[in-house]
Amino acid sequence: MDALTLQTAAGAPVTAVAGTFALFALFLSLTAHIAARNVLGDVELKKAFAVGPVPAAIAVVFTTFGWNSFVALALALGLDFGFVKFLYGRSNRLSAYVVTIHFVVSVLLGLVLFGLSAILMTAPF
């Protein structure tokens, strides 16, 4: 609890942490839907909204407390696999493929959005 207190005392209000979590969960839900749609075909959007917040919550908690990011990544991928398998009802192999595509799409789209953000922030106006 000390790390959370220090982070909020340093100027990051709870609403900023909650907003970061919400945007990251929305981003991961979007990429989960893209991955599931590309692998499985026509799928329901609401299932992706159940998958996205799980890795986002892990990222926020592990970052807040300064825990090992490799453990966070492994846990996030494992829980992502569990949620995809449960929600979409597919085999282990197909669920692992969806999770792999979800990871790749998230990294690629994140890099593109971060790059665009960096370019726009440094652009002269």
Please state the rounded mean pLDDT for residues 23-39.
95
Alpha-carbon separation of residue 61 from 76, 80, 117 (angstroms): 11, 16, 25
Report the candidate in 27, 15, 17 with the shortest Cα–Cα distance to residue 109.
27
Please report which confidence band the pLDDT of residue 33 belongs to, taking 50, 70 and 90 as the band edges: very high
Res 12 pLDDT > 70: no
C-alpha to C-alpha distance for 35 and 37, rounded to whole angstroms:
5
Amino acid at 73: L
Is residue 53 within 8 Å of 116, Cβ to Cβ? Answer: no
Mean pLDDT of the chain: 88
Token readout for 118 is 């960096």
Q: Which runs of consecutive H residues, i.e. helices, occur in 10-52?
A: 14-40, 45-51
Range of 88's domain? 2-122
Q: Provide the domain count of the chain.
A: 1
CB 3 within 8 A of CB 64: yes
pLDDT in tens, 40-88: 989 999 999 999 999 999 999 999 888 999 999 999 999 999 999 999 9
Tell me what pLDDT residue 125 has: 78
Average pLDDT (87-113) is 95
